[in-house]
Amino acid sequence: MAQPWEQWAKQPEHEGTLAHRARGELGEMESTKQLVELVGAVYAPGMRVLDVGCNAGHYLRGLRRIAQDLDYTGVDDYAYYLDQARTIYADDPRARFEIKDIHQPLYPDDPYDIVFNCNVLVHLPDFRSPLRNLLESTRTVCIVRTLMGEHTTKVKRAIIPDLDDCGEPVDYSYLNTWARQHLMDFAADLGWRSEHIEDKFDASVLADEHGTLKKGRGTRVVNGHQMDGLLTMNWEWLKFTRA
């Protein structure tokens, strides 16, 4: 049974734009452009790349600009998205999709050269076990994008107005901002060094999508900052390499 925060398990069809991006029917996300830069800077022919939280495989379309024969595996906890991905990339012999839960060991006995995890930790109740599993499946470089700041701030966005006896939302999604240094210290204890990388985006693209594609919902840009409702979305990247 899905947890209250697992909105993708309960209503996966609500995240329909990513399949359209994977098919090339919509433009790629701003985060895809930067991810391609980051992966391209460390990729060498023959490396295997793992996308954890792949959804419908939308990042793969951008990664193919690096190398058409890039060896890609996408994993996700939700079969709905993997079924879409397998259909979309049915003719791509270098793409595989498998069901995996980021809270469980991924590939500790067969690590990938490059592992990335984008826009996932923000939606989880805790980053520690997921980050450990990412790093244990990494041979060379792990790249993570999530909301970060000076302090950890846990946010439950209520899906419906109902509250439980303790005043907590009964149905919600997490939009957590994690303390940047906490993530870096946690990785250091596991033997990894961290490089902090600022998020880059074209504000005009996000503004256009907010008004046209998302009909006034989701992320918008206010004075150069990404906002979701009244919440500042401070996206940042961390690149982990072995110490």
pTM for the full predicted model: 0.94
If DSSP codes are grouped into helix, strand and coil, which group holds residue 63?
helix
CATH pick for 7-201+235-242 out of 1.10.357.10, 3.40.50.150, 2.40.110.10, 3.20.10.10: 3.40.50.150
CA distance 21 to 43: 23
CA distances from 150 to 42, 155, 191, 242 (A): 28, 15, 22, 24
DSSP code for 77: S
The DSSP call for residue 105 is: -
- Give the pairing type, strands 71-76 and 156-158: unpaired
Picking from 146, 232, 235, the residue whose alpha carbon sits closest to that of residue 187 is: 146
pLDDT per residue as tens, the chain (243 positions): 778 888 888 877 776 689 999 999 999 999 999 999 999 999 999 999 999 999 999 999 999 999 999 999 999 999 999 999 999 999 999 999 999 999 999 999 999 999 999 999 999 999 999 999 999 999 999 999 999 999 999 999 999 999 999 999 999 999 999 999 999 999 999 999 999 999 998 888 877 776 666 655 667 788 877 888 888 899 999 999 998
Rg of the chain, C-alpha, whole Å: 18
